[in-house]
Amino acid sequence: MPELLLELLSEEIPARMQTRAAEDLVRLVGEALAPLNPCAATGFSGPRRIALTLTLDAMVPGTTIAERGPREGAPDRALDGFTRKHGVTRDDLVLEGGFWVLNRTLPPVEAATRIAEILPPLLRRFPWPKSMRWGQGSAFTWVRPLRRILCLLDGQIVDFTLAEGEDNGHGLRADRLSEGHRFTAPAPFAPENAAAWQAGLRDRQVLADAAERRTLIAEGVARLAAEEGLSVAADPGLVDEVAGLTEWPVPFLGRIDAAFMDLPAEVMQVSMRVNQRYFALRNDDGSAAPRFAFVANLLPADGGALTIAGNERVLRARFADARHFWDLDRSRTLASRVPALDAVTFHAALGSQGARVARIIRLAGLLAPMVGADPAQAERAALLAKADLTTGMVGEFPELQGVMGAYYARHDGEAADVANAVAEHYMPRGQTDGVPTAPVSIAVALADKIDSLTAFFAAGEKPGGSGDPYALRRAALGVIRIIRENALRLDLVRVFVLASESLPGDLANAPDLDLLPAFVAERLRVQLRAEGARHDILAAISSGNADSDITRLLARTEALAAMLATDDGRNLLAATKRAANILRIEDRKDGPHDGTPDPALYEQDEERDLANALLDTIPAVETAIADERFEDAMRDAAHLRPVLDRFFEAVTVNADRADLRLNRLRLLANLRRMTVLIADFSQIEG
């Protein structure tokens, strides 16, 4: 099969856009060339280029297609419009099935022809998050000025141009030329195929494969650190970013002046990462090491001595700035900064950050006894939690909010639990982040997230579609994770009501607040689905159930899932679904069939056995669920399986006698009432 190589060489592409761009290129070209059966597609991305290679058929085979036109007997103007649209005459049409049909034969199309047809419009509509214009004479845009287009099919140039009418397309035309490293090998070269292209780039100090660059960076930095007895602070996002900034990555180590080693490790790491894309290193005990790692984009002629010295000099200036903020911020207590939050707007409808802090203080105090925390400490931590937003360090590095507040709280002599809660109240910040486990931290973290949920829902800012500007889905998942991982027992509906009572104006009665429990329940189902757990069972248990205790709901879910994993459980599910289906059909006719069955109308032992079993099982299940002995409840319910099997094998529910039919339907209604105590079995898959 012929091989296609496409490379788009431009000025430097932002690192955050490269991977997605390569994926989009592979997807869009694959879709456009679908008639050629493309396969083995591979995307490449780097600072100056995105590219792809794939194999495909040599041509699109010829085919005949049928275009159906107006019905036989349609007005002449309809037929004339159809023939005019397709550029044919009435003699070219045939009658098939009462319609005029145009059978058209499409000739085969060479792969090169098809490629040349689809690429210009595809490149003109390429979905960059942001594009720019440059030069004159063309409206064509690209993420950065596009300089070359290499397009080869089995070593031959696929000739096309981006010119379109009077638009000159910046004079860009497909060729066979590529370029190596901008500084060490800028001259163009002409590869014959994809393998020669990759090899030619490598010879010219460019690694086309982003994954190879990431591996080289991660392993190279780790190796240099290990030689010094150090380790690298984990930061996969930084590895990805640096791989998008370098074509020929060369790792180096630099030294940090001892004068800066008393700065908080987080300050040093964030300053290095944000400002310079440096890697922080750690000693064996996890403390900050007096070294840092960075990656150059070429191997200097002097082996790197001048490069290392230059980066050390830059880092000294960065750390001097951080030292200034560190010393200035500690000249005032954290508590003295709280009043300044009154001048910081949180949301137009919700007031200032100061008003929000007041709500969090109240809610943290109410939550504290529910999670085993000291209310006074929870309220103190809530008071200080947002104060670092007014500090110079957080103003420079917003990533450090909470972290710096904890440092300043310790400096001021605040209690350890209070300072830790200031640091941890944002947790979890993401899916891989841990959750707070200390009671005071839990109370403040929950208060912070629950206030966000209630406040923004009340203000009409609930998420819609994929939009979530206030990160409320993340806040809900944070609440869920804190509750689950600490096995907390909270009535979330009651907590939401408590939180809403502090909202300004009449927002406490906002109708959207009623949507919050369902919103959190849906986030819980999403989380279970991501974990591969039985989210359908949770939905079945939650159906018609006002319980908002997540820990209790999950315990019931696990118990029911365990029962349904047994033969008795699976057969009970099938039998109860059968009973529910019968009742649904019969209730439409003359239901509902509620009421107590009459024992005198039982004609068969199987009816009596099921009735007696239900008399024993229903109160047992009710008591077990009330006592939160969910495994016992499921075991009691599973004991019905053999009795139900015999009932459906031997008893005709829709008997000819009306009184027998009604009695048997009431018996099944009793069974349904029992199963509803456990879950809505109709929502369970299987």
The answer to whether residues 197 and 128 belong to one domain is yes
Q: What is the CATH number of the domain that holds 389?
A: 1.10.3210
Query: Which residues, at least 6 apart from 451, have a Cβ–Cβ distance to it below 8 Å?
Result: 356, 359, 360, 363, 499
Confidence (pLDDT) at 683:
79
pLDDT in tens, 409-435: 999 999 999 999 999 999 999 888 899
Same domain, 358 and 452: yes
Determine what percent of the chain is predicted with pLDDT higher than 90: 70
Are 421 and 488 found together in one domain?
yes
Same domain, 599 and 485: no
Q: Are residues 170 and 36 in the same domain?
A: yes
Query: Which among 79, 106, 133 is the end of a domain?
Result: 106
Among candidate residues 288, 305, 331, the one where a domain is terminated: 331
pLDDT (0 to 100) of residue 291: 97
Residue 580 included in any domain: yes
- Is the domain of 343 the same as that of 475? yes
DSSP, collapsed to helix, strand or coil, labels residue 497 as helix
Q: Residue 536 pLDDT > 90, yes or no?
A: no
Answer whether residue 579 shows pLDDT above 90: no
Angstrom CA distances, 303 to 248, 299, 309, stand at 15, 7, 12
At 665, phi and psi to the nearest 5? -65, -35
Answer with the one of 331, 349, 365 that is the final residue of a domain: 331
- 390 within some domain: yes
Helices (H), 565-655: 567-590, 605-626, 630-638, 641-650
pLDDT at 686: 61
- Cα radius of gyration rounded to whole Å, the chain: 35
Structure tokens at 75: 């007005």
464 shares a domain with 356: yes
Distance CA 376, CA 380 (A): 6
Mean pLDDT lowest among 40-54, 108-122, 195-209, 569-583: 569-583
Angle between helices 630-638 and 605-626 (to 10 degrees): 180
Distance of CA 488 to the CA centre of its chain: 26
Torsion-angle region of 325 (φ positive above 0: left; ψ -120 to 50: alpha; else: beta)? alpha
pLDDT at 575: 85
534 has pLDDT over 80? no
CATH classification of the domain holding 628: 1.10.730
Establish if 301 belongs to a structural domain.
yes
Q: Evaluate whether residue 124 is within a structural domain.
A: yes
Contacts of 317 (CB under 8 A, 6+ apart): none
Same-domain pairing of 342 and 325? no
The Cα–Cα gap between 234 and 269 comes to 11
Q: What is the mean pLDDT of residues 616-635?
A: 90
Record the pTM: 0.80
Q: Is 404 part of a structural domain of the chain?
A: yes
Instruction: Say yes or no: 489 and 520 in one domain.
Output: yes
Residue 555 predicted with pLDDT over 70: yes
Residue 547 belongs to a domain: no
425 and 375 within one domain = yes
**Judging by beta carbons within 10 Å of its beta carbon (0-12, 13-18, 19+), is residue 562 exposed, middle or buried?**
middle
pLDDT band at 587 (very low <50, low <70, confident <90, very high): confident
535 lies in a domain?
no
Co-location of 445 and 313 in the same domain? no
The span from the CA of 430 to the CA of 448, in Å, is 15
Q: Is the pLDDT of residue 305 over 90?
A: yes
> Domain total for the chain?
5
Dihedral pair phi/psi, residue 575, rounded to 5°: -70, -40
Integer Cα distance of 153 and 248 in angstroms = 28
**pLDDT given at position 360:** 97
> Which residue segment(s) compose the domain that 669 sits in?
560-683
Number of H helices, E strands in the chain: 24, 19
Mean pLDDT score across all residues of the chain: 93
Same domain (yes/no): 460, 606: no
User: What is residue 530's predicted lDDT score, i.e. its pLDDT?
Assistant: 85
**Whether the predicted pLDDT of 675 surpasses 90:** no
pLDDT digits (tens, 9 = 90+) for 183-207: 999 999 999 999 999 999 999 999 9
Look at residue 26 and tell me if it is in a domain: yes
Q: What is the pLDDT of residues 142-169, one digit of tens each?
A: 999 999 999 999 999 999 999 999 999 9
Instruction: Using the predicted structure, report yes or no on whether residue 350 has a pLDDT greater than 80.
Output: yes
Phi and psi, residue 109, nearest 5°: -125, 125
